Chains A and B, each alone.
Chain A
Amino acid sequence: MLLRGSHVIAEAAVRAGCRFYFGYPITPQNELTEYMANALASLPDGVFIQSESELAAINMVIGVSMTGKRVMTSSSSPGISLKQEGISYLSGQELPAVIINTMRGGPGLGNIAPAQGDYLQATRGGGHGDYRTIVLAPGSGQELADITRMAFEYADRYRIPVIILGDGMMGQMMEPVEFPDPIDPKSLPPKPWVLDGAEGRPSRIIKSLILDTSAMEEHNWKLFRKYEAISREVPEMEQFLTDDAHLAVIAYGTASRIAKGAIKRVREMGLKVGLLRPKTLWPFPKRILLQMSRTISDFLVFEMSAGQMLEDVKLSLEGRGRIHFYGRPGGIISTPDEIAKVINNIYFKEGLERE
């Protein structure tokens, strides 16, 4: 099927058994909301509400998630900021949910151009409290479909909010996609913790308030252990032409596509350059990156921001390798030629052609 990115996410969500969507209009992601409006209207068990705000939307998500059903909301940067309180509650209450952020230029109202300025917000929790969310970064139309399916699986498996970080370019691009078979929500395994009225069983509470500090500490450690398990089981990184590379560009999402174009150009000129593309931003694929530093001496972090993932790269490499950075914030989309020039400069400055 040939679909634009935002429609791919929406269709993949419906096929993952998501029958509940709540959202508030914001460019550049309205196509996603509109697709869900259509798709859910045509399903007997579909519920779509255009909410009065992003705050309302994320709290409707909380309500549905408490009943155990698959549920999604989407927005773009300013709206995601409004959802952060709810995402913190979802985390404390250990509720699954899928949240799409089609990032745009910022801070503030910013603009509607593709950007990657919400990396730190997404990967450091984003709201208040000691928590993390799984953050996935698709790099192609096909991956939008696959990652959306995975997002629902992870959300249920770990009882955690999962964020998919994209941008307007991802949302607009048209690529052929093969979708996985649809899941009938009724076929999903029942969740033993849901609220549905306490008929025939003890009543249940879903809450995040824990006034006793020792119990709160224990809850935080429990979450921490979950995050440790996720950090072992979930990280994913695509490696492209890295086997013989002296330099690897590290980029995700739209930036990784630009970087790939640049790498193909410099490869034609004989430069040994590859790409490392994290598909999970949290957990960040640390170990793979550290391994790569055995054979690769130079890393160029390329982001559509003033440097956010750069922090994770530095933390992961633990002082190994030389780290370079190129980034343009504010919604500027660099061209592959531009990045090829940056690569070229670094390559010869560091004398990599002599290795």
Chain B
Amino acid sequence: MKKVFGRPKSMKDAVFHYCPGCGHSIIHRLIAEVIDELNIQGKVIGVPPAGCAVLAYDYFDIDMGEAPHGRGAAVATGLKRSLPDRIVFSYQGDGDIAAIGTAETIHAANRGERITTIFVNNGVYGMTGGQMAPTTIIGQISSTTPGGRNEDRDGVPIDLSEMLAIAKGSVYIERTAVDSPKNIVRTKKAITKAFKAQMAGLGFSLVEVLSPCPTNLKMTPVQASEWIGSTMTTYFPLKVIKDTAGKL
């Protein structure tokens, strides 16, 4: 019989610890498929975050080096500057990249580091139990915004990807989602292009992926995915935010 679906080569034979309906496992799989298709399993180095994806190295069958919370871009910079012909990516949550690690990320983009960042925006701090994230939307209830996020007190959801697009060193930034099969396919395309931009030595590339967190949104998996389309995308529209990479 012909095998039509299997585990990507770049994934270990391990069971995900992620909650039912969590987007991290889909995004992991997409990255592994892209690594396989680009045939770079032996050349890629990943930098997992502090966050729900902290154990990413248990799932990816590639070299991985842990970064402190938020410092993925700086660790990836060190790896890439040391090994310019390897493909280096960081995998970061919204709290990791857009709160504690904002400075490292903006400056890596501004220097045009030849690295790729997968920015998983689930609108909450997942790992620590559902506190407000920099990307939590106005009115959204979290464990630290019991009455909902309040613009005057908490500021508005931060547009980190748009900010990074201003940096001259960034070449490709796209916001996608994994809330539907169609968007999952688009996300994979975006990740492919982001890696290709790095491999072509063009500059900093990033894919922001809107990702469901049913556990902390206190929704069913289906509701959490629907919420991305109905609510989250009004703050974070899905689009190519910057593309100076051209056709790759």
Contacts and interface: CB of A to CB of B under 8 A. Distances in A.
A93 B74 contact: no
Contacts of B42: 197-200
A59 B45 contact: no
A199 B67 CA distance: 22
A55 interface: yes
Interface in B167-188: none
Contact of B82 (A51, A59, A69, A207): A69
A162 interface: no
B116 interface: no
A208 B66 contact: yes
A62 B67 contact: yes
Interface in B33-75: 41-45, 47, 54-55, 57, 60-68, 71, 74-75
Contacts of A65: 78
A204 B63 contact: yes
Contacts of A208: 66
Residue picked from A69, A89, A196, most chain B C-beta under 10 Å: A196
Contact of A206 (B66, B80, B81, B83): B66
A59 B81 CA distance: 13
A259 interface: no
Nearest to B74: A59
Contacts of A195: 45, 63-65, 79
Please tell me the size bucket of the interface on B: 35 or more
A86 interface: yes
Interface string A327-344: 000000000000000000
Residue picked from B57, B64, B82, B106, most chain A C-beta under 10 Å: B82
B66 A196 contact: no
Contact of B66 (A52, A64, A93): A93
A56 B74 CA distance: 6
Nearest to A68: B82
Interface residues of A, number: 38
B78 A63 contact: yes
Contacts of A31: none
Interface string B10-43: 0000000000000000000000000000000111
A64 B75 CA distance: 8
Contacts of B78: 20, 22, 59-67, 71
Contacts of B44: 197
Residue picked from A51, A52, A195, most chain B C-beta under 10 Å: A195
A255 to B, nearest CB: 34
Contact of B68 (A49, A53, A89, A203): A89
A63 B78 CA distance: 4
A137 to B, nearest CB: 28
Residue picked from B62, B79, B81, most chain A C-beta under 10 Å: B81
B126 to A, nearest CB: 16
A195 B86 CA distance: 10
B205 interface: no
B49 to A, nearest CB: 11
Given A60-B74, A200-B42, A20 B67 contact: no
A278 B138 CA distance: 59
B57 A198 contact: no
B77 interface: yes
Q: Which 3 A-B pairs have the closest CB atoms?
A: A63-B78, A199-B42, A59-B74
13 contacts: A49-B111, A55-B74, A60-B81, A62-B74, A63-B76, A86-B71, A197-B42, A198-B61, A200-B42, A203-B62, A205-B66, A207-B66, A208-B66
Interface of A: 20, 22, 47, 49, 51-53, 55-57, 59-67, 69, 71, 85-86, 89, 93, 195-200, 203-209
Interface of B: 41-45, 47, 54-55, 57, 60-68, 71, 74-83, 86-87, 103-104, 106-107, 111
Given A64-B79, A205-B64, 8 more contacts: A53-B103, A55-B74, A63-B74, A63-B82, A66-B78, A197-B87, A203-B64, A207-B64
